[in-house]
């Protein structure tokens, strides 16, 4: 399994964040985490990293339903930012609406759509997918 240098989790649920960090750490799959509670916080921080020519995450786990700037609003703005490296985005949401899944597929940066709760098996599948990118 390819080790991720930086994983970015954009989600307002502290239990989800704790669980993903724990699983990825136990699997030895990730060195560092960037955690943002909403899309605006994430967009501002990632834009600053790009401007400063700093390391960007290899993967973003993006929730859709968040305050201030939701996942869709984040995506609409983030795809317009000139990102100097390939960043893989996984939407991780409790929504099972087929329209959301279809909409996610319309973004080239979005690799997959995962329905919460995320299990160890689903997370390991994500990590294996990254190896093939």
CATH code: domain of residue 127: 3.40.50.2300
pTM of the model: 0.91
Q: pLDDT grade, residue 50 (50/70/90)?
A: very high
Q: pLDDT tens digits, residue range 77-118?
A: 999 988 888 888 999 998 888 999 999 999 988 988 988 887
> Is the CB of residue 72 less than 8 Å from the CB of residue 99?
no
Structure tokens at 133: 């990118």
Q: What one-character-per-residue DSSP string does 18-36 give?
A: HHHHHHHHHTT-EEEEEEE
Q: How many domains does the chain have?
A: 1
CB-side exposure of 54: number of CA atoms within 13 Å?
A: 10
Q: How many CB atoms lie within 10 A of CB 18?
A: 11
| Rounded CA separation 54/69 (Å) | 24
Angle at 73 between CA 69 and CA 77, to 5 degrees: 115
Q: pLDDT tens digits, residue range 5-40?
A: 899 999 999 999 998 888 888 877 788 999 999 999
Residues of the domain holding 19: 4-131
Residue found by looking up tokens 């939407």 in the block: 91
């Amino acid at each position: 399994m390819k080790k991720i240098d930086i994983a970015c989790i954009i989600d307002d649920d502290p239990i989800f964040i704790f669980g993903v960090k724990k699983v990825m750490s136990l699997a030895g799959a990730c060195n560092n985490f960037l955690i943002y509670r909403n899309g605006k916080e994430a967009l501002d921080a990632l834009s600053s990293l790009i401007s400063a020519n700093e390391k960007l995450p290899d993967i973003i786990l993006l929730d859709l339903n968040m305050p201030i700037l939701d996942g869709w609003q984040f995506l609409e703005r983030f795809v317009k930012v000139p990102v100097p490296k390939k960043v893989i985005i996984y939407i991780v949401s409790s929504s099972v609406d087929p329209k959301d899944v279809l909409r996610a597929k319309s973004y080239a940066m979005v690799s997959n759509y995962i329905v919460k709760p995320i299990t160890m098996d689903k997370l390991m599948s994500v990590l294996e997918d990254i190896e093939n990118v």
